Structure 1
Amino acid sequence: MTAQPIHPHDPEPRVPRNANGIAEALTGVRRVEFLRQFLASAPEGAEAVLRRWWCEAMLDTDPSGDRITAAALDGTLETTSVADLIARRREAGLPLE
């Protein structure tokens, strides 16, 4: 018997993990702000800017985004504790940084 994910993931993320992919996924003021922060960052800070804005772009392009936002505002969004997330990542052999 094999376990299947509750929310299956595409083999490739909706937004490529690079500056071009992020910029293409964002629109308007958010794209401008991403590019401003990325271009202004020192080389050692560029990764943090990319990571933060990749998460924003993934949220912006999530097909379930409106449903999730509504559930959060209604107080019906399913939540989990950080301790549970850390335990799940450890069990899966994923990084904890």
Structure 2
Amino acid sequence: MTAQPIHRHEPARVPRNAEGIAAALTAEARKEFYAELLAAAPEEAKGVLLRWWGRAMLDTDPDRGMRVSAALAGTTTTTSVRDIIERRRAAGLPVE
């Protein structure tokens, strides 16, 4: 008998590293990304990577048009931070 995961694990669409992020961006955006990353102080680099990873994820999202339209129309579903913290606590996860 083998255990099957509840949620099927898919490989990351955009790896969370500079190479993966750059590969997902257009040529123009890639230049901006590298310029910002190279200009960042070491303590700022993680923030630059996270911000550009988010952009790369959105740019490569097959449902991008639908998500952008919903955000612009104000119909995107939201969850309060309080609800997220309560869910994490109930699941025994850290909330720092």
- The TM-score, its normalising length taken from structure 1, stands at 0.75
In the TM superposition, what whole-angstrom CA distance separates every residue of 1:2-54 from its partner, at most 9, and x where no partner exists?
A: xx6xxx67432100111010001111332211111111112222112111111
Match in the other structure for 1:16: 15
Q: How does 1:59-74 map to 2 (within 5 A)?
A: 59-74=58-73
For residues 9 and 68 of structure 1, what CA distance do their matches in structure 2 show? 23
Question: Bigger radius of gyration, 1 or 2?
Answer: 2
Secondary structure of 2:14's counterpart equals coil
2:83 is aligned with what amino acid? D
2:67 is aligned with what amino acid? I
TM-align CA RMSD: 2.2
1:20 is aligned with what amino acid? E
Percentage identity across paired residues of the two chains: 52
Secondary structure of 1:31's counterpart equals helix
- The TM-score, its normalising length taken from structure 2, stands at 0.75
Secondary structure of 2:75's counterpart equals coil
User: Which has the larger displacement, 16-25 or 81-90?
Assistant: 81-90
